[in-house]
Structure 1
Amino acid sequence: MRSDAAKRRATILHEARRLFAEHGGSVALEAIADAGGVGIATLYRNFATRAELADAVALDILADIRAAAGAALAVVDDSATAAWDDFLTRMVGLELGALADALALRAPAELTAAVRQAQDDALDEVAALLAAARAKGIVRAELDPVELVLAIGMITRPQPAALQARAPHLTARLAAVFAAGLRA
């Protein structure tokens, strides 16, 4: 793929991820194309269907989860608490809750093999980090990688505007309380 084509594809993917997080999975593909500065035909040349675009977004998110866990795992022996805290901060920053609805349009059995494999790979990396963090005595023994990722997704779900106005730092506070509860 030419560099300009790769850049366009990356821009479309970035905008799809942002708009899925803001508006859910039913956001118009035309809106994604517009936000990416391309025409709808260019979007369809890169992603033939909405499902293909959703898969690409899912793969991107799963790669970010795996990268966050991998980065923490790489330094957990040097500074376990800092590595764990950085991992949680990065996970909250992924806005998993905002993207959950957009990516949950299909049943798990309908996910592509690539997405299922990426899920397994990401969860394996999170499990490895949890094992290392447990060995360092910084997280609870019963912590499960799937439950951890799902809980972060629940904490980061977008709240109605009225609630955000009333408690603008709620997500950060809930994340801090959750993180404290995970400590051994």
Structure 2
Amino acid sequence: MRIPVLKVLARDSFCGCSSSEILRMERIILDKLNWDLHTATPLDFLHIFHAIAVSTRPQLLFSLPKLSPSQHLAILTKQLLHCIACNQLLQFKGSMLALAMVSLEMEKLIPDWLPLTIELLQKAQAQISPRTTANQKCQSEVQQPSILISQLPVGTSIPLLNAK
């Protein structure tokens, strides 16, 4: 089922409200719930950090000649989603989780990964200590995905891990 266009919804619901009144009511409800539609997600930060890393250090992908930047980002996205699935990591800011993923990847690929990580950290306006902890936890989650799998009910489908 598709969500109807607002004009159609207003007309077909016979609520007697115009589209602008429905939008105004929606905004009031969102404001009362302190709902922020413009909050950046960990994935937003991953895209930003990856773009900065690849643009400032083009050699980042030299050791991965078969991967385009978007394919590399897709791999990092899968890893980030896996980390987000771990409820222990929910205590960290999304920017720190994304930075941890990019930092771990840079550490594997380029020798001067630390200055770039610090530069990204400064751009995120965060502290080093939470990043380090998030970095370590993400690394253990990516390296040991069976921890999460063992906690799932039998027969649970995990598209992220089944993806090729």
Fold shared by both chains (TM-score > 0.5)? no
TM-score by length of 1: 0.25
- Max Rg structure: 2
TM-score by length of 2: 0.27
Q: Which has the higher helix share?
A: 1
